[in-house]
Amino acid sequence: MSLALESAIAVPVPGAAPLLSVEGLRVESGGIPVVQDVSFRIAAGEMLALVGESGSGKTATGRAILGLLPPGLTCAAGAIRLGEEDLARVAPARLRELRGGAIGMVFQEPMVSLNPAMTIGAQLGEALALHSRLSPEAQRAACLAMLRRVQIADPEGCLRAYPHEFSGGMRQRIMLAAVMLPRPRLLIADEPTTALDNLAQAEVLDLMVELARENGTAVLLVTHNLGLVSRYADRALVMQRGRVVEEGPARRLLSAPREDYTRLLVSAMPQRLPRPPRLPSEVLLEARGLTVDYPGRARLFRRLPGKRAVKGVDLAIQRGETVALVGGSGSGKTTLGRAMLRLVQPSGGQLLFRGRDVTTGSGEAVRDFRLACQIVFQDPYSSLDPRQRVGEIVAEPLRHEPGLTAAARAARVAETFEAVGLPGMDRRFPHQLSGGQRQRVAIARAIVRRPALVVADEPVSALDMTVQKQILTLIRSLQAERGFACLFISHDLGAVAEVADRVLVMQDGAIVEQGPRDAIFDAPQHPYTRALLDATPRLMG
């Protein structure tokens, strides 16, 4: 197989010598290989995608190129040639010169990759001052031009501002500006948009591709999302357990994968399968004119104006129905979801559960409502108490179930673990489980009390594509089996297409469009819906 690969990479983009060539790369952690026999080339101006799931070694490969492996990982063998130089062997001082100069890098978390204590101007200037001999005025002019180029509204003001004043998408654009300023020959982008919603993701990546094209920069895009590969990459490399499984032109790879693993990845892309039509049934939970306000921050002598996160939303969920609530970050969808369960107290409007008012108070109706509605959070790493065994976590909701003996409780927990596909795992601690398994535990906790409604807040956006698929399938099958209704909150229309009966699109705290799933996907009316649909990564012909 490696022979076939060799011949595949022997024909790069015609007429271009490889800018970077990696041969036989091996990265070890205490003698155990994390990456082995990885070889690839990138031509100048080419966009190569490195695809794989968590733990496939794709990030280690990207970092090895820059000599930025985290402690504990060492580059044990292989050559990394940039032009004439072997980066695996050059002096650290030379590597430092190349980093940020000839090779730029964009990291995953825009929240942490900009220094919160430095102004944007100072951070943009840093790389230029190191890697060019421009005068301070020329540097400033270059920074302003670049900020204008990445469509920052007020570049002058931006130079004086601090990172926390910007949203995630803006920060990643600023990061991109900083990295592209010294005009690198190679840009390594490691999951640059995984922390962003789909709209911001499309914006940032479109911009990245344009900038790379303008400067003739080659891009190594490290990602787990095949949709992005199909949209942006020329060629792709699929990695699994530290080895290259398949390599080829992105389009061919996705349309006609040769290896089983690639096929598995492709099949994990969200699909919109026909759903059986639903008969209208009684309304389970209804919000009427629901409004949520966040108070402003208290300053020394006054209170800053607050924010109305949800602006008078009407929403009814029927028994057994799956309603998807979609929108970008900051659209208020998470707040609405929390308010529907009264985890956030609504400041106006009415909440009716089975026709009874549960907006305020803590009477019997409210207690019934609390017991019948559960939530699954986005991040399975923070939603499980690290000090409890998962068996205890799942058993906890049963504390409030009256008249359940200890034996019955244990049986219910065991049966629930069975249902979510984790039989006999109840003695483990959360840290001993993978992300997907943790999310299964979170789902088990939500369904153990046999709820009538589960609010799932971005339940799959922190997970790998194949695991996403499994979790979505699990939610669907549990729903078919147990008949609970689901409010599925997501920014990813791909995931929504898999599970939803009905879709509500939310922008700036208000519902701008709603309808049956297929109507929304096939004939979106509102421009915001159309923008969301366009930004959704999917396989393209």
Partner 1 sequence: MRLRLNALIGGTLMALVVGTAVTSAFWTPQNPLRIAMRARLNAPSAAHWLGTDEVGRDVVSRLMAGAGTSCLVAALTVLAAVVLGSLIGLVAGFARGWVDRVLMLVNDALLAFPGILLALGLLAVMGPSQWGIVTALGLAYTPTVARIVRGAVLSIREREFVEASRSIGNSDAYTMWRHVLPGTVSPLIVLATSLFGWAILAESALSFLGLGVPPPAPTWGNMLSAARPYLETAVWLSLAPGACIALTLLGVNLLGDALRDHLDPRSSPQ
Shortest distance in whole angstroms from residue 342 CB to partner 1: 9
Q: Which of 62, 169, 327, 397 binds partner 1 (CB under 8 A)?
A: 397
Shortest distance in whole angstroms from residue 403 CB to partner 1: 16
- The answer to whether 519 and 355 have CB atoms below 8 angstroms apart is no
CA torsion 13-16-19-24 (nearest 10°) is: 60
The kind and range of the H/E element at 284 are: strand 283-294
Shortest distance in whole angstroms from residue 399 CB to partner 1: 7
Binding window for partner 1 (CB under 8 A); candidates: 41-49, 93-101, 352-360, 371-379: 371-379
Q: What is the DSSP string of 59-108?
A: HHHHHHHHT-PPTTEEEEEEEEEETTEETTTS-HHHHHHHBTTTEEEE-S
Q: What are the φ and ψ backbone dihedral angles of 262, each rounded to 5 degrees?
A: -60, -40
Which two structure tokens, joined as six digits, stand for 303?
Answer: 């209170």
Shortest distance in whole angstroms from residue 303 CB to partner 1: 13
- The answer to whether 538 and 227 have CB atoms below 8 angstroms apart is yes
Q: Which of 37, 293, 357, 396 binds partner 1 (CB under 8 A)?
A: 396
Shortest distance in whole angstroms from residue 433 CB to partner 1: 10
Shortest distance in whole angstroms from residue 447 CB to partner 1: 12
Q: Which residues contact 367 (CB under 8 A, 6 or more apart)?
A: none
**What is the rounded distance in angstroms from the CA atom of residue 437 to the CA atom of residue 541?**
33
Interstrand relation of 502-507 and 18-29 (parallel, antiparallel or unpaired): unpaired
Residues in the chain: 541
- Residues 319-338, interacting with partner 1 (CB under 8 A): none
- The answer to whether 176 and 207 have CB atoms below 8 angstroms apart is yes
Q: Site size for partner 1, by CB under 8 A?
A: 26
Which two structure tokens, joined as six digits, stand for 213?
Answer: 């094209």
Give the other-Cβ count within 10 Å of 150's Cβ. 23
Q: Which of 293, 379, 508, 518 binds partner 1 (CB under 8 A)?
A: 379
Q: Which residues contact 462 (CB under 8 A, 6 or more apart)?
A: 378, 379, 380, 381, 435, 439
Interstrand relation of 453-457 and 510-516 (parallel, antiparallel or unpaired): unpaired
Of 11 and 298, which has the nearer Cβ to partner 1?
A: 298
Of 131 and 342, which has the nearer Cβ to partner 1?
A: 342
Which two structure tokens, joined as six digits, stand for 416?
Answer: 């629930």
Strand partners, 25: 38
Q: Which of 231, 311, 440, 445 binds partner 1 (CB under 8 A)?
A: 445
Shortest distance in whole angstroms from residue 396 CB to partner 1: 6
Of 239 and 373, which has the nearer Cβ to partner 1?
A: 373
Of 272 and 370, which has the nearer Cβ to partner 1?
A: 370
Shortest distance in whole angstroms from residue 156 CB to partner 1: 35
Of 82 and 413, which has the nearer Cβ to partner 1?
A: 413
Binding window for partner 1 (CB under 8 A); candidates: 35-43, 69-77, 389-397, 410-418: 389-397
**Residue among 326, 294, 286 at smallest CA distance from 310:** 294
Q: Which of 54, 382, 473, 477 binds partner 1 (CB under 8 A)?
A: 382
The answer to whether residue 162 forms part of the interface with partner 1 (CB under 8 A) is: no
The answer to whether residue 375 forms part of the interface with partner 1 (CB under 8 A) is: yes
* Cα–Cα separations (whole angstroms), residue 92 to 9, 99, 523: 29, 10, 56
The answer to whether residue 78 forms part of the interface with partner 1 (CB under 8 A) is: no
Q: Which of 164, 299, 302, 399 binds partner 1 (CB under 8 A)?
A: 399
- Residues 416-435, interacting with partner 1 (CB under 8 A): 429, 431-432
Binding window for partner 1 (CB under 8 A); candidates: 127-135, 300-308, 373-381, 482-490: 373-381
Binding window for partner 1 (CB under 8 A); candidates: 76-84, 299-307, 311-319, 378-386: 378-386
Query: What is the phi-psi region of residue 332: left when phi exceeds 0, alpha when psi lies from -120 to 50, beta otherwise?
Result: left
Binding mask 229-258 for partner 1 (x = CB under 8 A): ------------------------------
State whether the Cα torsion 227-421-245-259 is positive or negative. negative
**What is the rounded distance in angstroms from the CA atom of residue 124 to the CA atom of residue 161?**
12
Render the burial of 459-489: b for 16+ CB within 10 Å, e for the rest: bbbbbbbbbbbbbbebbbebbeeeebbbbbb
Q: Which of 76, 129, 283, 371 binds partner 1 (CB under 8 A)?
A: 371
The answer to whether residue 400 forms part of the interface with partner 1 (CB under 8 A) is: yes
- The answer to whether 238 and 245 have CB atoms below 8 angstroms apart is yes
- Residues 339-368, interacting with partner 1 (CB under 8 A): 341, 343, 367
The answer to whether residue 487 forms part of the interface with partner 1 (CB under 8 A) is: no
Q: Which of 30, 72, 386, 403 binds partner 1 (CB under 8 A)?
A: 386
Shortest distance in whole angstroms from residue 484 CB to partner 1: 15
Of 34 and 178, which has the nearer Cβ to partner 1?
A: 34
Interacting residues with partner 1 (CB under 8 A): 341, 343, 367, 370-371, 374-375, 377-379, 382-387, 389, 396-397, 399-400, 429, 431-432, 442, 445
